[in-house]
Amino acid sequence: MSENADQPTVAKINPPVFFGSAVVILAFVIFTVAMPETAQTAFGHVQTWIIDTVGWFYLLAMGLFVIFTLGLAFSRYGDIKLGPDHSEPDFSYGSWFAMLFSAGMGIGLMFYGVAEPVFHFTAPPVGDAGTVEAAREAMKTTFFHWGIHAWGVYAVVALALAYFSFRHNLPLRISSALYPLIGKRIHGPIGHAVDIFAVFGTMFGVATSLGLGVLQVSSGLHYLFDIDNDLTTQIILIAIITCLATVSVVMGLDGGIRRLSELNLGLALALMLFVLCVGPTIFLLQTLIQNIGGYLSEVVDKTFNMFAYIPEDGPSKWLGGWTLFYWGWWIAWSPFVGMFIARVSRGRTIREFVYGVLFVPMGFTFLWLTFFGDSALHMLLTDTAGNLAEAVSADASVALFKFLELFPFGSITSMLATVLVVTFFVTSSDSGSLVIDMLTSKEGDESPVWQRVFWAFSEGFVAVALLMAGGLGALQTASLASALPFAIILMFVCYGLLKALRLEGVKQRSMQHLSNTPGHTAGGARSWQKRVQTLVETPRQKNVEQYLINTVTPALADVAKEFEAQGLDTRVNDEEDRSYLQVSHGEEVDFVYGVRVREYAAPAFALRNVKRKGTSDVERQYRAEVFLREGGQTYDVMGYTKEQVIGDVLDQYEKHMHFLHMARN
């Protein structure tokens, strides 16, 4: 994938998905802007229907996603790489974690880190408000909403996308995850419809976050500079920040998003450590441990708690405004965050991926919620919070600034918080535009810059439309509604991924079964002295390339000729650094055998023999390594005769046929 602005100018759009998504989104914006009151009323009816009718499905789905993800990590499939067997991660752990956190929920934490615990403390779903027990339950509930469930649904999408794209070379689109179920029809109307739903969910999930972000930025500017906190200001802010996001889009993934993500993480750490040091430090450390324990002890109960035995006008109404909103928000965000996580996770094993995605960002989130949320609750319990509770109840967007006002250097920290919200805003917008662009591109890859700019501005327009249609309430409804069809799609994605992994497990077992089968490459015309020479020599690149031309390609051509004589669809591809044979098996898995040039550091024992005057690669050696459809096999055939290469091809083909036999039965 291209990661910079120097990209082709020719559009690579997938017309059904691009124009279908654009038309639906444009119609929504026109309707909302032209008839804001009607839109607001419609949003209210939709939200009520979802909460009353299908709320149970949201809770069930989120629970199953977590179980599915953890099950994969603990299973035998955990060692499978998200990419070829020889692939390595594209980013360091530090950069990877920073991008996970920034893309996942940065704006939300800034908005709700103080507001949500205070809300639950002053108006709990059950029990008395303003008590120690209310404070304890407030943090348990907040942890539950921001814990493993959000990252579980992100992981489902990211796993499926990374696996099918990087390991099976399918486009990086949501529809690719359904390949085991519908096959090549992912490129037809069914696949297009799935991708349109993904675009729709992503657009409204990102727009919800942008709306929350701009509400908070506007409140921050009002607090710092007494700028009017009204719709006009919010629209201007969206325009400005969307332009900043566009600059990041032009810079690309590595140049823009990665650097902004690392900046976000640094600023967030600084603000969090300030609150820890200036606030009730010992109390915060104590509550952190207790909050984690409370979360772990009640996570299963809360996962499936519908308040079904309590009257509808009680906690069930609270459930719709909080838990179901979050679940809808996370599901709506999952195409965006999942695809972004997949894009930056190539080369990691499934187990490594799940542990990293589920637990590392969640750990940071728990630290943030404890330090900010429990600091606010400590102020309320000790009557040192001033009018914090009243201010939060009136306008959640001011919660963070009213909170920081109670600490030393309130103006400075509020300025830092505002900058942090802006950078999270920009990161979400440019990441979202990158993802939507990939969903609507013909090959599921990054397209010309103008296409990403188009989607960046579209996100801004949708955020404006939602703010005009009712502010926070419209944002919540948009998340809930856009999440419903995609939650159903995700159920099929889980099944498709499991089916593909089971098939891969069958192939691995078949390979192990035949690992001791006598090969056909031993012996031949090559003397044992020649074999020793081949094993210890350090070939140069031109030697290996010449070997591919003179020996490997003719061997593959002879095998292809014989396969074709037996009625098989076969072709040989000869490229600059590799030569490979592909045998088509129709609806079953194709066979691929190839040899490519690989560069390595020369072994120390051989360096004295490879030093050549006037050469710059005296410490490098090159191997002719075999690769199959699954990736590199890490063994070298340099020095094999033509007949021995043919024997190795047939050995691997025999294993492949055994795999197909086991898969059929």
For the segment 645-662, the average pLDDT, to the nearest whole number, is: 90
pLDDT top residue among 239 and 62: 62
Nearest residue to 637 (alpha-carbon basis) of 527, 523, 547, 502: 547
- pLDDT higher than 70, residue 510: no
The pLDDT value given to residue 466: 74
Sort 323 into a burial class: Cβ within 10 Å, 0-12 / 13-18 / 19+.
buried
Q: Residue 620 in contact with residue 595, Cβ under 8 Å?
A: no
pLDDT top residue among 531 and 499: 499
Q: Report helix angle 449-468 to 410-440, nearest 10.
A: 120
Report in angstroms the alpha-carbon separations of 23 from 295, 439, 565.
Answer: 43, 15, 51
Q: How large is the C-alpha radius of gyration of the chain?
A: 28
Nearest residue to 354 (alpha-carbon basis) of 164, 77, 141: 77
User: What single-letter DSSP state applies at residue 178?
Assistant: G
Lowest mean pLDDT among 21-35, 530-544, 597-611: 597-611
Beta bridge partners of 57: none
The DSSP code sequence of 535-562 is HH----HHHHHHHIIIIIHHHHHHHHHH
User: What single-letter DSSP state applies at residue 603?
Assistant: P
The span from the CA of 276 to the CA of 256, in Å, is 30
User: What single-letter DSSP state applies at residue 80?
Assistant: -
The pLDDT value given to residue 15: 85
- pLDDT higher than 80, residue 73: yes
Q: Residue 462 in contact with residue 28, Cβ under 8 Å?
A: yes
Report in angstroms the alpha-carbon separations of 542 from 416, 538, 553.
Answer: 57, 12, 15
Enter the tokens of residue 102: 């920034």
Residue 474's pLDDT band, with cuts at 50, 70 and 90, is low
Average pLDDT over all residues of the chain: 82
Whether pTM > 0.85 for this model: the answer is: no
pLDDT digits (tens, 9 = 90+) for 82-111: 888 888 888 888 778 777 766 556 677 888
The span from the CA of 197 to the CA of 177, in Å, is 14
- pLDDT higher than 90, residue 321: no
pLDDT digits (tens, 9 = 90+) for 154-196: 999 999 999 998 888 888 888 888 888 888 888 888 988 888 8
The pLDDT value given to residue 137: 94
How many CA atoms does the CB half-sphere of 472 hold within 13 Å? 15
- pLDDT higher than 90, residue 463: no
pLDDT digits (tens, 9 = 90+) for 5-37: 344 444 477 888 888 888 888 887 788 778 877
- pLDDT higher than 90, residue 259: no
The pLDDT value given to residue 313: 62
* Cβ-Cβ contacts under 8 Å for 162 (sequence gap 6 or more): 82, 83, 341, 342, 345, 346, 353
The pLDDT value given to residue 149: 93
Enter the tokens of residue 118: 């205070």
- pLDDT higher than 50, residue 629: yes
The pLDDT value given to residue 39: 77
* Cβ-Cβ contacts under 8 Å for 558 (sequence gap 6 or more): 642, 646
Enter the tokens of residue 5: 């602005």
Residue 211's pLDDT band, with cuts at 50, 70 and 90, is confident
Per DSSP (E only), the strands in 491-588 are 569-574, 578-584
- pLDDT higher than 80, residue 656: yes
pLDDT digits (tens, 9 = 90+) for 356-371: 899 888 888 999 999 9
The pLDDT value given to residue 639: 83
The span from the CA of 374 to the CA of 388, in Å, is 13
The span from the CA of 481 to the CA of 200, in Å, is 10
- pLDDT higher than 50, residue 1: no
The span from the CA of 44 to the CA of 488, in Å, is 23
Question: Is the CA virtual torsion 588, 170, 348, 652 positive or negative?
Answer: positive
Side by side, which strands form the sheet with 591-601?
569-574, 578-584, 591-601, 620-628, 631-636
The pLDDT value given to residue 633: 82
The span from the CA of 209 to the CA of 427, in Å, is 11
Nearest residue to 436 (alpha-carbon basis) of 566, 358, 333: 333
User: What single-letter DSSP state applies at residue 177?
Assistant: G
The span from the CA of 436 to the CA of 438, in Å, is 5
Residue 518's pLDDT band, with cuts at 50, 70 and 90, is very low
Residue 133's pLDDT band, with cuts at 50, 70 and 90, is very high
The residue count of the chain comes to 665
Residue 399's pLDDT band, with cuts at 50, 70 and 90, is confident
Residue 254's pLDDT band, with cuts at 50, 70 and 90, is low
Cα torsion at 395, 401, 404, 410 (round to 10°)? -140
Nearest residue to 29 (alpha-carbon basis) of 330, 460, 430, 450: 460
The pLDDT value given to residue 596: 93
Nearest residue to 205 (alpha-carbon basis) of 492, 459, 22, 549: 459
The pLDDT value given to residue 613: 46
The pLDDT value given to residue 32: 78
pLDDT digits (tens, 9 = 90+) for 538-547: 788 888 999 9
pLDDT top residue among 479 and 297: 297
Q: Residue 346 in contact with residue 90, Cβ under 8 Å?
A: yes
User: What single-letter DSSP state applies at residue 166?
Assistant: I
Instruction: Provide the terminal-to-terminal Cα distance of the chain, rounded to the nearest Å.
Output: 38
CA triple 167-201-252, angle to 5 deg: 60
Nearest residue to 378 (alpha-carbon basis) of 118, 636, 100: 118
For the segment 393-410, the average pLDDT, to the nearest whole number, is: 86
The pLDDT value given to residue 7: 42
CA triple 93-150-116, angle to 5 deg: 110
Q: Residue 167 in contact with residue 152, Cβ under 8 Å?
A: no
Enter the tokens of residue 170: 């399918």
